[in-house]
């Protein structure tokens, strides 16, 4: 029996030996191939970590090779850091004797966190190289990052070590009040175009104060951050018509990740909240994107002017107005998880030459929602004294993009004049678009406006659109959202029609 056992063990050893591959390596000869010769890490703010970028390294030879060293040229002082096939090396900067099998590849993942002082002062670029081997076999891949300076606004640390907080809707949240005499930033209630602003937590506007955003201001909100306009406080956005694609005079609100990967991802920051009792708001030429709720009005005191404003990619609402008074002109909203425009708990609204579209990827959203009630409120209903839509487009990917939630115990006054509207089920008495002249006049029903590129939030139209020249001159606003003169009769929506590039 013992002989059989010895033979069995010998057989196993022989089998493994016959299957063994020779893992001996040869030194690299400088013939590595790379997925790119330069890795661009996009733009980052100073001292904010970048996304992770990938470089793939190929061994095209028939030999298993050993790369004596993979390192950043600036060594341990480099602001870049790497992992090489999951290894962290020496602080992510230097890796020795890296094996790469024949006809195989390895992954290098690269990140950076750099200050503006680390960059070249002439172009604000921070650069380095990944070096593979040395001497005659040296190969290099360049790394390039644009570092952008910014004004950082954030909650300060209290004496007891806790973070500064403000109250919103009765809850303490991470936040701070903007200070017109801040020792470092000066007047924080005036946002200029000199540098972009990065906000952490909620930036609050104190009672009886006005926050002003000058033309060209850029505001970037960190995750779970936003702007809070408190009781008796005022917001003024004074953007203007831009003449280039850089939107040099537009005021822009967005998240703080500048990489192209994040350009259209919803929910990167919270909201601009207008508290009950806030007052005298004016918004002109604002582009707001990638929030949870874009503009959130909670029973502000007087009429809000919103003109030439674009709101995109919001997880819940583009505009959520609770018992508000809004005069809107040349507004464009697209992509919202619940509703692009939702006016609830009554109020008074007038929208002219606006494009409310919703192509969110579910079937339960709306482009426009109107309501005169609010569950849990006291009282639960509030009169909707006016909701007028003139020369507007209300469209999207759902069957019904217009929704009425009427409570008969309070007034519900609305009217659509010369609008293109998408609505599939017209059996309900509230949606008799052809015969109910009290509420609907000259409605174009379920015809495609042929937006230029909905997925890129380009809701311009051309002369083939069903919205072309269908407006009523009596409601016309002389200039469209881009400052282009409207024709007579005007096109519906926020954009005057134009020819698209072929």
> What percentage of the chain exceeds 90 in pLDDT?
84
**What is the length of the chain?**
502
- Are 380 and 357 spatial neighbours (Cβ–Cβ below 8 Å)? no
Number of CB atoms found within 10 A of residue 364's CB: 10
pLDDT attached to residue 16: 44
Structure confidence at residue 502 (pLDDT): 64
Task: Read off the tokens for 455.
Answer: 């997925």
Q: What is the pLDDT of residue 74?
A: 97
Q: Which fold has domain 26-148?
A: Immunoglobulin-like (2.60.40)
- Say yes or no to pLDDT of 175 above 80: yes
This prediction's pTM: 0.87
- Look-up: residue for tokens 């929030």? 291
Quick: pLDDT tens for 285-326: 999 999 999 999 999 999 999 999 999 999 999 999 999 999
Q: What is the pLDDT of residue 13?
A: 45
CA distance 137 to 156: 52
Q: Which residues of 314-323 are buried (b: 16+ CB within 10 A; e: fewer)?
A: bbbbbbbbbb
Half-sphere exposure of 407 (CA within 13 A, CB side): 16
- Given a cut of 80, whether residue 473 has pLDDT beyond it is yes
Nearest to 481 by CA among 263, 281, 282, 311: 311
Lowest mean pLDDT among 105-114, 455-464, 492-501: 492-501
Beta-ladder partners of 130: 72, 141
Query: Taking 60 as the threshold, does the pLDDT of residue 498 lie above it?
Result: yes
Contact 451, 432 (CB under 8 A): no
Beta strands 286-289 and 251-255 are parallel
Mean of pLDDT over the chain: 93
Whole-angstrom CA distances from 330 to 115, 233, 240, 353, 496 are 40, 25, 13, 5, 10
Average pLDDT value for residue range 475-485: 97
Q: 70-85 burial string, b = 16+ CB within 10 Å, else e?
A: bbbeeeeebbbbbbbe
Please tell me whether residue 257 adopts helix, strand or coil conformation. Answer: coil
- Is 19's pLDDT higher than 50? no
Q: Considering only CA atoms, which of 306, 394, 303, 388 is closest in space to residue 351?
A: 388
Tokens of 178: 């903007």
162: left (phi over 0), alpha (psi -120 to 50) or beta: beta
Count CB-CB contacts under 10 A for residue 86.
Answer: 8
Q: pLDDT value at position 488?
A: 95
Query: Across residues 267-278, what is the average pLDDT?
Result: 97
The CB density around residue 29, as the number of other CB atoms within 10 Å, is 12
Identify the residue with better confidence: 425 or 382: 382
Rounded to the nearest angstrom, the gap between the alpha carbon of residue 409 and the centroid of all alpha carbons in its chain is 39
Q: What is the mean pLDDT of residues 366-386?
A: 95
pLDDT in tens, 44-87: 998 888 999 999 999 999 999 999 999 999 999 999 999 999 99
Higher per-residue confidence, 29 vs 330: 330
* Average pLDDT of the residues in 90-94: 96
* Order of all β-strands in the sheet with 80-84: 33-34, 53-59, 104-112, 80-84
Q: How far apart are the first and last CA of the chain?
A: 85
The Cβ of residue 265 has, within 10 Å, a number of other Cβ atoms equal to 12
Confidence at 23, pLDDT banded by 50, 70, 90: low
């Amino acid at each position: 029996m013992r002989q059989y056992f010895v033979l069995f063990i010998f057989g196993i050893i022989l089998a493994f030996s016959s299957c063994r591959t020779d893992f001996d390596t040869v030194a690299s000869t400088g013939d590595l191939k790379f997925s790119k010769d330069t890795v661009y890490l996009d733009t980052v703010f100073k001292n904010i970590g970048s996304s992770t970028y990938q470089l793939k390294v190929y061994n095209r030879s028939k030999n298993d090779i050993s790369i004596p060293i993979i390192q950043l040229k600036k060594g341990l002082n480099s602001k870049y850091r790497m992992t090489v096939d999951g290894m962290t090396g020496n602080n992510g900067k230097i890796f020795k004797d890296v094996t790469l099998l024949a006809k195989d590849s390895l992954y290098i993942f690269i990140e950076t966190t750099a200050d503006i002082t680390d960059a070249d002062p002439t172009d604000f670029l921070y650069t380095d190289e990944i070096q593979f081997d040395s001497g005659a076999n040296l190969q290099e891949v360049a790394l390039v990052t644009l570092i952008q300076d910014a004004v950082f606004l954030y909650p300060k640390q209290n004496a007891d070590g806790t973070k500064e907080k403000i109250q919103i809707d009765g809850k303490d949240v991470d936040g701070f009040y903007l200070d017109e005499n801040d020792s470092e930033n000066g007047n924080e209630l005036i946002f200029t175009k000199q540098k972009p602003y990065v906000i952490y937590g909620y930036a609050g506007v104190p009672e009886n104060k006005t926050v002003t955003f000058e033309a060209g201001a850029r505001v970037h909100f960190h995750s779970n951050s936003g702007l809070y306009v408190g009781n008796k406080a005022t917001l003024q956005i004074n953007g203007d018509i831009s003449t280039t694609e850089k939107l040099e005079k537009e005021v822009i609100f967005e998240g703080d990740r500048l990489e192209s990967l994040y350009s259209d991802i919803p929910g990167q920051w919270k909201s601009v909240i207008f508290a009950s009792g806030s007052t005298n708001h004016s918004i002109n030429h604002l582009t707001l994107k990638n929030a949870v709720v874009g503009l959130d009005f909670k029973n502000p005191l007087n009429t809000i002017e919103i003109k030439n404003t674009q709101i995109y990619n919001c997880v819940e609402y583009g505009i959520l107005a609770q018992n508000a008074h809004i005069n809107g002109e040349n507004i464009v909203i697209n992509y919202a998880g619940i509703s692009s425009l939702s006016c609830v708990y009554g109020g008074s609204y007038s929208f002219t030459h606006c494009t409310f579209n919703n192509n969110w990827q579910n079937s339960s959203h709306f482009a426009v929602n109107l309501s005169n009630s609010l569950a849990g409120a006291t009282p639960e209903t509030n009169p909707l004294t006016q909701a007028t839509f003139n020369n507007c487009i209300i469209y999207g990917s759902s069957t019904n993009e217009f929704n009425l939630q009427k409570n008969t115990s309070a007034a519900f006054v609305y009217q659509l004049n010369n609008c293109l509207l998408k609505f599939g089920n017209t059996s309900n008495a509230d949606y008799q678009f052809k015969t109910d002249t009290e509420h609907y006049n000259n409605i174009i029903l379920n015809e495609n406006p042929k937006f230029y590129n909905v997925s890129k939030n380009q809701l311009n139209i051309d002369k083939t659109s069903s919205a072309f020249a269908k407006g009523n001159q009596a409601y016309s606003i002389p200039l469209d959202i881009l400052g282009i003169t409207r024709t007579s009769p005007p096109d519906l929506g926020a954009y005057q029609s134009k020819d698209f590039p072929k």
